[in-house]
Structure 1
Amino acid sequence: MKIDLSGKVALVTASTGGIGFAIAKGLAESGADVIINGRSAQSVQGAITRLQHDIHGATLYPAIADLSSAAGVEQLLGTLSGVDILVNNAGIYGPQDFYATDDATWENYWQTNVMSGVRLSRALLPAMVEKGWGRVVFISSESACNIPADMIHYGVTKTAQLSLARGLAKFVAGSGVTVNSVLPGPTLSDGFAEMMKDEVAKTGKPLEQLAKEFVMANRPASVIQRAASVEEVANMVVYVCSLQASATSGAALRVDGGVIDDIV
């Protein structure tokens, strides 16, 4: 299968590192023009430089904005035109005791993980529907189904993304625009590496080994019994954004390594 997204413009939010960067790279390799989003000029330019080094002739655009507020989304939208593919990857996570999670924390997670996608979809979907083609993808998580007891606030936002994506898919039914969710499981992302850096230094173990131990201790239902790579997650996203995926909409597609113990 050859995925060709030439002539398509893709916005990947929070795409300066981790899963977002891998998605941006996969889309650019498939011929799409990609808008790179991050919160600072330095991080955005750094990501663009890395991608230009890896992909000869890639067309990349900077979009500097913090999407945790309506003002930040408006700032981003003011720089955009003609977006065919929207990948809502922006998100935050972190463990916290439920009793200690105050309203401000809940609001920050809700605005960043859910409302950024609501606002961007509301602004960009009409033009996709008018053209008769478009792709919207929400990067959710296996935590949407397996709500973590130590990250309830996070899990709730990831579940909300599934509802949002399914509802939007029905809202634009028959238009040629698809809306889907992708659910990564434990992944060797930049965030995971940062979380484990002290353990790497203390034990001398490679990150991949520590990730495997983390999976087996915290996600023992994993079928692959390891963490996924960011490229493995990105591969699913690139396919969902492709012309070949035109019959897939309203779906929650798992790249969780089989962590969710469900046959559906």
Structure 2
Amino acid sequence: MHISLKGKTALLTGSTKGIGFAAAKGLAEAGAAVVVNGRTQEAVDKAVSSIRESVSGADVKGVAANAGTADGCNAIFDAVPDCDILVNNVGIFGPKDFFEITDDEWQQMFDINVMSGVRLARGYLPKMKDRGWGRVVFLSSESGLNMPPEMLHYGFSKTAVLGISRGLAKIMSATGVTVNSVLPGPTLSEGVASMLQDDVKERGVSLEEAGRDFVKAHRPSSILQRPATVEEVANMIIYACSEQASATTGAALRVDGGVVDSIA
């Protein structure tokens, strides 16, 4: 299968590193004009330069804005009035005891993980519908189905994303616009790597070994028995953004290594 997105513009939130960066690089390799987003100009410039260096002829630019706020989303709209592909990737996570999670932390999780995608979809979907073509991908998580007791606020936000994605797919019915969610499982992104650093230092093991041990201890239902790479997750995102995915909509596309114990 050859995926070509030449002539399409793709905006990816939270794409200066991790899964978002891998997806931005992959979409640039597929020929899309890519817009990288992050909170700081320094991080955005670094990501843009990295993609240009690794993808010959890449059409890539950046927008520094906090997509987790209404003002940040408005700044993105000002810089990128229209796009063909929207990847709502930006998100935060972190373990915390339910009884210690403050109201402000619940609100922050909701604003960044949920409302960023709501605001941007609300702004970009009408033009996609008018053109008769568009792709919207929300980054959910296996935690949206397999609720993690160690970070309930995160799992809740990813369940909300699943509901919004499915509902928007119905709203876009028969328009040529697809809306899907991608559900990664444990993934060896920079954020997860940082979370595992104490274990790496204390036990003197490699990051990969610490990742495998984490999966076995905390996601024992995993069939893969290791974290995915960011590129493995990005491959699913890129497919969902492609012409070839025209009959895939309203779907929850799992890249969880089989963590969710379901045959569906």
TM-score computed with the length of structure 1 as normaliser: 0.99
What does residue 152 of structure 2 align with? Answer: 152
* Deviation, structure 1 residue 199: 2.1
- Pairing of 1:134-173 with structure 2 (within 5 A): 134-173=134-173
- The one-character-per-residue Cα deviations of 1:195-253 (angstroms, maximum 9, x if unpaired) are 11222223221111110000001101001111100000000000010000000000000
- The one-character-per-residue Cα deviations of 1:125-178 (angstroms, maximum 9, x if unpaired) are 000000000000000000000111111111010000000000000001000000
What does residue 9 of structure 2 align with? Answer: 9
* Deviation, structure 1 residue 77: 1.1
What does residue 73 of structure 2 align with? Answer: 73
Structure 2 CA distance for aligned equivalents of residues 14 and 131 of structure 1: 26
Structure 2 CA distance for aligned equivalents of residues 16 and 52 of structure 1: 13
Structure 1 CA distance for aligned equivalents of residues 21 and 38 of structure 2: 10
Q: In terms of mean alpha carbon deviation, does 73-82 or 233-242 score higher?
A: 73-82
Q: Which amino acid aligns with 1:172?
A: M
Structure 2 CA distance for aligned equivalents of residues 102 and 60 of structure 1: 39
What does residue 193 of structure 2 align with? Answer: 193
What SS is found at the alignment partner of 1:151?
Answer: helix
Structure 2 CA distance for aligned equivalents of residues 157 and 137 of structure 1: 16
- Pairing of 1:251-262 with structure 2 (within 5 A): 251-262=251-262
TM superposition outliers: structure 1 runs of 4+ over 6 Å: none
What SS is found at the alignment partner of 2:66?
Answer: coil
- Pairing of 1:229-244 with structure 2 (within 5 A): 229-244=229-244
Structure 1 CA distance for aligned equivalents of residues 59 and 203 of structure 2: 42
- Note the residue ranges of structure 1 that are not aligned, 5 or more in a row: none
What is the root-mean-square deviation of aligned Cα atoms in Å? 0.7
- The one-character-per-residue Cα deviations of 1:64-92 (angstroms, maximum 9, x if unpaired) are 10112111111111111330000000111
* 1:30 corresponds to 2:34: no
What does residue 63 of structure 2 align with? Answer: 63
Identity over aligned pairs, percent: 55
Structure 1 CA distance for aligned equivalents of residues 252 and 45 of structure 2: 32
- The one-character-per-residue Cα deviations of 1:10-38 (angstroms, maximum 9, x if unpaired) are 00100000000000011000000100000
Q: Which amino acid aligns with 1:192?
A: V
Q: Which amino acid aligns with 2:105?
A: T
- The one-character-per-residue Cα deviations of 1:90-122 (angstroms, maximum 9, x if unpaired) are 111111111111111111111100000000000
Q: In terms of mean alpha carbon deviation, does 197-206 or 12-21 score higher?
A: 197-206
- Note the residue ranges of structure 2 that are not aligned, 5 or more in a row: none
- Pairing of 1:119-130 with structure 2 (within 5 A): 119-130=119-130
- The one-character-per-residue Cα deviations of 1:26-59 (angstroms, maximum 9, x if unpaired) are 1000000100000001000000111111101001
Q: Which amino acid aligns with 2:133?
A: W
What does residue 216 of structure 1 align with? Answer: 216
Structure 2 CA distance for aligned equivalents of residues 143 and 99 of structure 1: 19
Q: Which amino acid aligns with 1:19?
A: I
Q: Which amino acid aligns with 2:95?
A: P
What does residue 95 of structure 1 align with? Answer: 95
TM-score computed with the length of structure 2 as normaliser: 0.99
* Deviation, structure 1 residue 180: 0.1
What does residue 19 of structure 2 align with? Answer: 19
- Equivalent residue pairs, number: 264
